Structure 1
Amino acid sequence: MAGYPRVWPRSLVAAAVGFCVERGADPVPCAEPVLTGLREEIGAALECAARWPREKGELPEPDRAHIDRVIAVLGGDLLAVRLGVGWCGLQEWFAPALAVLRSAEVRRRHGAELLSAISELEAMDRHGLRPLRYAAAILDEPLTVLHRPTGTGYEVRIGGIGDNFQLHTLLAHVLIGGGHLPGTAPAAEAVRPAVDPAPATGPSGVTAYGSFDLRAPDGGTIRNEGLPADVPVVDGRRLLVLDHPSYRRSWNADRYFPDLPGSAELLRVLPAEEARAWFARTALDG
């Protein structure tokens, strides 16, 4: 599989690899050529944008229907073909990339490099890169979670969580549902879409309800629309503060990635002294 040919069908080979991963092939060896190819196409798309003449107006939509025009404007040579394919064919790499990024080991090995490659092109807002960014940024690590109203603290390992709506639901399930915090735990039907190992086959129609405000150690809001990776790192550990809910909020209980179940496991309840020490690292009183 290594060394895909540097021509248009590379994306078709990647799609075949992604198909195999979805049906049980090991994603770790498959990830290298898929994600390397994706990064190369991102680089080609960026160079295409840099070389596009201003007098020609805005670059066409990144779609194969426009590739002939892009190639012609860029000069019609082999480089123009390469850049045109990068701009117009990039989205064909998304499905195989998302297939291999379901693996925590793949994310550990390749996530940071892929995020770096994505950032500049995503700023152009032309290719719909959010799903790739969210997938590459998924955390598989412990969080230190502080509950401001009770002054208590917890160590929770999370994995496979696609956004903070899902994180919010699972923290409430583990901490309130587990009897560690006061409040109303999420209903079982609201938790199920977040953790079900089976791929989601369509909208669940279930509503989840918020239990907290999610806050950064400096007191700033961490939005449910964001990612667990938005939780700041303090002294080598991601530190999240749960506060009183400032208003009643609700959302669709479906997870961001239908094929990727999330998890949140309570590793330990922090001793009171340790919890106080973590609160002392925040701008919030415990």
Structure 2
Amino acid sequence: MPSEIQRLVDDLVTQMKSGSAPAYRTAMERLADAARAGGPESLTAAVEALAPLLPDLGGDFAMTAVLAGACVEWGASPMALVDVLPRRASEAMKLNAMVPGLWDKAARGRPLPEPVSASTHPLLRTLTGRARWRLGVDKNTMARIAMSWFDMEHWLKALITVMADAAFREAVADDVKTELREHAEAVAHRSQRAVWAGALTAVLDDEPLVVIDPRAHRGYALTMSGVGDNGQLHILLADRLVGDPGQGMVAGDRPARSWVEAATSGDPRLGTDDPAIRCFRLFDGQGAYIGPEGVPADIGPLDGTRVLVLHPPNGTYMLGVGRVFEHMKPTLRLDRILEPAETQRWLARLAPAVENDMMADR
């Protein structure tokens, strides 16, 4: 580890112990500047030095996790955070979900403070002062619960950054992903980042996908990774499959280049001037409608394989965003066109499309 990075991390720890917010922010800025100036090696060294600190941090000092995430955006390896950040973010959401109920018991009808720094001391004082409302919860634990009301978004911001990395997603234990989804669901009504964090835990990587075009009696075997939502999948499918029917491809209009760029590596925002128009409606092999607003994990497996069935679009459905997660690199690879006999076997197993979803008619 570069000695300058370690020295700056040590200084950051000193400033956190001092309790001085201005000194902490200055130490953060110095560490960030030095790590960026040193390139990937220094950035990775900073992440490796910060990772052991994260489990015990809370409140404003949770910004340390945001710095670690920023280092990853700038080019650091995120892998030192695998066993730390997902668990800490999961805990923050779990504790955050407890705050309203505890406040109701302790605050005697007063409104719950907004999750901004100016409200930290009133909430912390009220909850820690009434820690006896929760049998077995000491003041230190209650303080950690209270601070989650203010620091959860910091943990989630960092988590969303690192979960864009395919190797990181693969390394996170399945039980941790399950906990993240459960806790994200509990706070999703007040945190968009929690919604995104839950969705990232369900991202499929190296996932086989069979696509059937029943009108042409053709099928396709693909592999997908890092696709954030079904709107993005719609665009990528059109890019990979629409082409010359004489060459075995799906008949239709090719997607605009700007749509494909928005779904892959360009600016994800398409806006109202150039929205992507979906080329088909999608149903899974069991007949369920697969809406653009869902995620690929919603595609129910048929005999162990996720299957999509292409239907005509039935009107115009516009997509203003090409991808939800700007820094997550998607791949959708067309591996092969299925042989006619194989396509027929899939066709024989497909359930009829259940067209009872309002959006399926558009």
TM-score (norm 2): 0.71
Contact 1:62 1:126 in 2 (8 A): no
- For 1:230, the equivalent position in structure 2 comes to 298
Distance 2:82 2:324 in 1: 21
Contact 1:206 1:254 in 2 (8 A): no
Contact 1:111 1:137 in 2 (8 A): no
Contact 2:262 2:268 in 1 (8 A): no
Q: Indicate whether 1:73 and 2:126 are aligned.
A: yes
Q: Which has the higher contact order (CA 8 A, sep 6+)?
A: 1
Q: Percent identity, please.
A: 28
Contact 1:115 1:137 in 2 (8 A): no
Distance 2:125 2:143 in 1: 9
The structure 1 residue matched to 2:69, chosen from 18, 36, 46, is 18
- The one-letter amino acid of 2:141's match is L
- The one-letter amino acid of 1:182's match is A
Distance 1:195 1:201 in 2: 8
Change (3 A) 1:201 1:281: closer
- For 1:116, the equivalent position in structure 2 comes to 179
Name whichever of 272-281 and 208-217 sits farther off: 272-281
Task: Give the C-alpha shift of residue 10 in structure 1.
Answer: 5.1
The structure 1 residue matched to 2:154, chosen from 65, 68, 92, is 92
The structure 2 residue matched to 1:272, chosen from 340, 348, 352, is 340
Contact 1:158 1:263 in 2 (8 A): yes
- The one-letter amino acid of 1:82's match is R
Distance 1:111 1:187 in 2: 38
Aligned length: 283
Contact 2:69 2:158 in 1 (8 A): yes
- Deviation string for 1:115-151 (max 9, x for gaps)? 4333344244122211212222222222111122222
Q: Which has the higher helix share?
A: 2
Name whichever of 200-209 and 175-184 sits farther off: 200-209
Change (3 A) 1:65 1:177: farther
- For 1:133, the equivalent position in structure 2 comes to 198
Which runs of 5 or more structure 1 residues have no equivalent in the other structure? Answer: none
Change (3 A) 1:5 1:252: closer
Which runs of 5 or more structure 2 residues have no equivalent in the other structure? Answer: 1-50, 130-138, 354-362
**Rg larger in 1 or in 2?**
2
- Deviation string for 1:31-85 (max 9, x for gaps)? 3222121122122223434534355477444443433233233233322211011
Q: How big is the alpha-carbon RMSD for the aligned residues of Structure 1 and Structure 2?
A: 2.5
Change (3 A) 1:20 1:133: same
- The one-letter amino acid of 1:257's match is F
SS of equivalent to 2:82: helix
Change (3 A) 1:26 1:242: same
TM-score (norm 1): 0.88
- For 2:327, the equivalent position in structure 1 comes to 259
Task: Give the C-alpha shift of residue 87 in structure 1.
Answer: 2.4
Name whichever of 57-66 and 15-24 sits farther off: 57-66
SS of equivalent to 2:146: helix
Contact 1:149 1:244 in 2 (8 A): no
